[in-house]
Amino acid sequence: MLRPDSVIEVAVFVPLRQTFHYLSNPERPNDEVVPGSLLRVPFGRGIRNGIVLRVGLHPEADRRLKSIVELVDAKPIINQELMQLGLWSSEYYHHPIGEVLASMLPRKLRRIGSPERLQKYEWVGIHPSQGRALTIKAPRQASLLRLLERGPMLIEDFQTLTFDWRRALRELEKKSLVHRRLYHPKTRLSPTETIELNNTQEDAVKSITSGLGSFRTYLLHGVTGSGKTEVYMAAITDTLKLNQTVLMLVPEIILTHVLVARLKRRFGTIVAVLHSGLSDKDRVQIWQQCRDGEIGVLIGTRSAVWAPLQTIGLIVVDEEHDSSFKQQEGFRYNARDIAIKRAQQLCVPIVLGTATPSLEAYLNVEKNKYVYLSLPERTGVAKLPSIACIDMRGLKMTGGLSDRLCVALGNCLQRGEQALLFLNRRGFAPVTLCHQCGYIVTCERCDAKLVWHKGNRVLSCHQCDSQKSLQQIPQCCPGPDLVPIGLGTEQVEEVLKKIFPGKSVVRIDRDSMRKKGTIEETFSAIREGSVDILIGTQMLAKGHDFSRVSLVGIVDADSQLFSSDFRAEEKLAQMIIQVAGRAGRADIPGEVLIQTHQPHHPLLQTLLVDGYHRFAKDALKERRAASLPPYVSMAMIRAEAPNPELPLKFLTVLIERVRMQGMQGSEILGPIPAAIEKKAGRYRAQIAITAQSRMVLAATVKSFIESSSDVPMRRKVRWAIDVDPHDTI
């Protein structure tokens, strides 16, 4: 007879919806296996990791159960609070619990055992005057010294730097410019940066801090440059005074470095950063410090929402509208929404900050689910920039730039100010064709055109990242004459250098910033004033404070005006306001010029005349009339296979089975091919499910899952569920 405490229910780290039962290890009867423990268990022909869900006799348990291989860590690796959050997330997003719990752990812990205890150091800079002397000959060493002049820094503080900081530190140590000493986790530095708030900022802080100790969601709607970060820091200060911690989420890794440096100047060594750019070893160390209560403020990107931070008293989500918070592969969760649920479980306030609130946030304010806080003006003497459209119809263009924009650029440079041009399309040209026969070069693995990258002399697919040299292009006709069509950031950079010779032009996109250290060095040069014109993609669109940028030019605003994605106009409006917000952030007046062939489009007119708030109100009316989110709940079911017919057939069978069950209250649209049907050699199709009730939507999705269990072709098709999708095409 099995002892009741010997049978263990385990969520194994595999993409299967069921859980599995094992016996405790007979060779180690004293191992204390509890919910949240990390185990190694036999699975199939191998061994997998898994998390204990429950301990106790199960009705289906019998003597044929296998025993666990090993209890990896005596201490539960997932605490009760995060276990509850994981179970809720698995049910809400209809994703296997094993993969949900695995996503909570650093990648290294999903594969191996207990985190190793790592020695911690802090680095201290000395002789800052000599650091300035190193600027020309050793710029990276000088950059580190400038950081260290602000105060001691933990070794992990340098993880956000992408250049070879280890070598630079070694060289500085040899020169006796820095030294290291053991770091005690409870060490806190005295604040070195004070916070001065205006009246609206003080009101926002009072509202947030009055809610400490209770769950409430605050939407902090502040125009660009209104000082949302100062509000965050003031609220964090009050939270830390209560001996509680703070979790802060940001959408992009590129935004963490400046923010972390600023928070460290304010709060010292208790601030840490967690994102996918860190090494596996460093991620495990930060994760362990969170679990051990050694971190006071954790700043991170999407995956940091799962960090085992102790005694959380406040959660902040900066740029809450940003689609980067939505995971697009595997476990398709939204970190913003998970953060709200976590705050609710912990009974703590959460602040959602943005200059361009999502329509979901606006609707929740209308329903009194969120508390609305407004910062309508910029801080100090800074004023919002003037915004105007340039009608491109019939104009002579030079590399995509109109004469009016070029004149504005010239005037800006003549005044000794900086300009920023935004074009969300990297590469030299999005289309390459043969001038002799009209053949357009496409990707063999995707339904996508190859993008011309002139600097590397390659044609690249931006869907699957495959590349071809010009010599590898199929010979469509004798002596093909390949020409680029359309505009990319690389081409605009080339044109600007010709129009403004002698001026420093810097391109910031995923291609130009690949080399380690380039991002930090480039942004440092921009702030020091050695860059005249910036040209870039969405990497430049948000969060950056370039005090000398007075002119912003949006080179092409038309790309999303006629998209089939119902969220396209919302995303475009947010992008325009965010990019425009980079201008005039100090005492220099700002100007924004938007090039478009549709100057009278309602979206542009509304933004220019009445602002983003009016746009959001109008967009919500349209969504309600069309029965689209946020007025209905939505899920997408996406299927893909190497065979072009299988995804559509598979989804058709599922729909027929679900409709036979007589599901009421939900609408099923499709199946249809995806907008880019073929990607990376696989053909894709999808269906959309909408319902007025979240419960009805969940019931319908569960019906699809149950109906798939015995579909003959299901093993030939890869399919996934996407609840609250951000992309619907």
- CATH number for 693: 3.30.70.600
358 versus 113: the higher-pLDDT residue is: 358
Q: Is residue 729 part of a domain?
A: no
CB distance 335 to 305 below 8 Å: yes
CATH code assigned at 529 = 3.40.50.300
- In DSSP terms, 678 is beta-bridged to 683
- In DSSP terms, 49 is beta-bridged to 40
153: pLDDT confidence band, cut at 50, 70 and 90?
A: low
- Write out the two tokens for 82: 């995060």
- Rounded to an integer, the average pLDDT of 184-197 is 58
CA distances from residue 697 to 329, 364, 626 in whole angstroms, order as listed: 21, 19, 18
CA proximity to 140, closest of 579, 515, 449, 696: 515
CA proximity to 245, closest of 370, 346, 325: 346
My answer on whether 329 and 232 are in the same domain is yes
Rounded Cα distance, 729 and 718, in Å: 18
Q: Is residue 192 part of a domain?
A: no
Q: Is the pLDDT of residue 550 over 80?
A: yes
Last residue of a domain, one of 609, 625, 641: 625
CB distance 551 to 386 below 8 Å: no
Strand (E) or helix (H) holding 578 = helix 568-580
**Which residues are CB-neighbours of 43 under 8 A, at least 6 positions away?**
12, 14, 20, 50
Average pLDDT value over all residues in the chain: 85
Q: What integer pLDDT is reported at residue 194 of this predicted model?
A: 67
My answer on whether 357 and 220 are in the same domain is yes
Last residue of a domain, one of 604, 625, 646: 625
Report DSSP state, residue 680: T
Comparing 216-230, 280-294, 321-335, 491-505, which segment has the lowest mean pLDDT? 280-294
Q: Is residue 2 part of a domain?
A: no
Q: Is the pLDDT of residue 383 over 90?
A: no
CA proximity to 641, closest of 632, 650, 631, 633: 650
Q: Is the peptide bond before 630 cis (omega within 30 degrees of 0)?
A: yes
With a pLDDT cut of 70, the percent of the chain lying above it is 89
- Residue positions counted in the chain: 729
Comparing 9-23, 358-372, 480-494, which segment has the lowest mean pLDDT? 480-494
Q: Which domain holds residue 535?
A: 386-427+487-625
Q: Is residue 190 part of a domain?
A: no
Q: What integer pLDDT is reported at residue 192 of this predicted model?
A: 54
Q: Is the pLDDT of residue 611 over 50?
A: yes
My answer on whether 567 and 476 are in the same domain is no
Q: Is residue 116 part of a domain?
A: no
Q: Is the pLDDT of residue 160 over 50?
A: yes
Q: Is residue 728 part of a domain?
A: no
Rounded Cα distance, 383 and 710, in Å: 63
Q: How many Cα atoms sit within 13 Å of 630 on the Cβ side? A: 15
My answer on whether 522 and 638 are in the same domain is no
My answer on whether 661 and 528 are in the same domain is no
Q: Is the pLDDT of residue 127 over 60?
A: no
CA dihedral sign of residues 302, 305, 310, 311:
positive
CA dihedral sign of residues 387, 393, 394, 398:
positive
CATH code assigned at 26 = 3.40.1440.60
My answer on whether 563 and 417 are in the same domain is yes
Rounded Cα distance, 421 and 493, in Å: 10
Q: Is residue 380 part of a domain?
A: no
My answer on whether 419 and 508 are in the same domain is yes
**Residue 353 exposed, middle or buried by CB count within 10 Å (0-12, 13-18, 19+):** buried
Query: Locate tokens 């730097």: which residue?
Result: 161
Q: Is residue 1 part of a domain?
A: no
Q: What integer pLDDT is reported at residue 173 of this predicted model?
A: 77
What are the pLDDT digits (tens) for 59-115?
555 558 888 888 887 788 999 999 999 999 999 999 999 999 999 998 888 775 544
- Rounded to an integer, the average pLDDT of 291-304 is 90
My answer on whether 439 and 423 are in the same domain is no
46-55 and 38-43: which strand pairing? antiparallel
Q: Is the pLDDT of residue 542 over 90?
A: no
- Write out the two tokens for 648: 């559509």
Query: Can you give the C-alpha Rg of the chain in angstroms?
Result: 27
Last residue of a domain, one of 601, 625, 649: 625
Q: What integer pLDDT is reported at residue 151 of this predicted model?
A: 62
My answer on whether 233 and 352 are in the same domain is yes
- In DSSP terms, 121 is beta-bridged to 182
Residue 238 sits at the vertex; the CA angle it makes with 237 and 240, to the nearest 5 degrees, is 65
Q: How many Cα atoms sit within 13 Å of 589 on the Cβ side? A: 4
My answer on whether 213 and 247 are in the same domain is yes
CB distance 313 to 288 below 8 Å: no
Give the 3-state secondary structure of residue 274.
strand
| CA 621 and chain centroid, separation | 28
Q: Is the peptide bond before 712 cis (omega within 30 degrees of 0)?
A: no
Q: What integer pLDDT is reported at residue 53 of this predicted model?
A: 93
What is the count of structural domains for the chain? 6
Q: In what order do the strands lie in the sheet with 386-391?
A: 386-391, 591-596, 549-554, 418-422, 533-536, 505-508
Strand (E) or helix (H) holding 249 = strand 245-249
Query: What's the CA dihedral at 162, 167, 169, 173 to 10 degrees?
Result: 180
Strand (E) or helix (H) holding 83 = helix 80-93
My answer on whether 504 and 407 are in the same domain is yes
My answer on whether 420 and 435 are in the same domain is no
- Rounded to an integer, the average pLDDT of 694-715 is 90
